[in-house]
Amino acid sequence: MNKLVLGLTFALTAGASSLALCADPSEAHQHDHTSMDMSMPMPMRTDPAGPMKDSRQLVRYPEPMRIHTLANMRDHLATLAQIQEALAHGAFDQASSLAEERLGMSSLQMHGAHELAMYMPKGMQEAGTAMHHTASQFAIVAKDASVTGDLKPVLASLAKLNQTCVACHATYRLH
Q: Is 73 in the site for ligand HEC (CB under 6 A)?
A: yes
Q: Is 131 in the site for ligand HEC (CB under 6 A)?
A: yes
Q: Is 80 in the site for ligand HEC (CB under 6 A)?
A: yes
Q: How far is residue 29's CA from residue 16's CA, in Å, rounded to a whole number?
A: 20
Binding mask 133-172 for ligand HEC (x = CB under 6 A): -------------------------------xx--xx--x
- Answer yes or no: are the C-beta atoms of 107 and 101 closer than 8 Å: yes
Cα(first)–Cα(last) distance of the chain, in Å?
75
Q: Is 124 in the site for ligand HEC (CB under 6 A)?
A: yes
Binding mask 91-120 for ligand HEC (x = CB under 6 A): ------------x-----------------
Q: How far is residue 161's CA from residue 136's CA, in Å, rounded to a whole number?
A: 9
Q: How far is residue 65's CA from residue 41's CA, in Å, rounded to a whole number?
A: 29
Q: How far is residue 109's CA from residue 125's CA, in Å, rounded to a whole number?
A: 15
Nearer to ligand HEC, 87 or 128 (CB): 128
Residues at the site binding ligand HEC, with contacts judged by CB under 6 A? 70, 73-74, 76-77, 80, 103, 124, 127-128, 131, 164-165, 168-169, 172-175
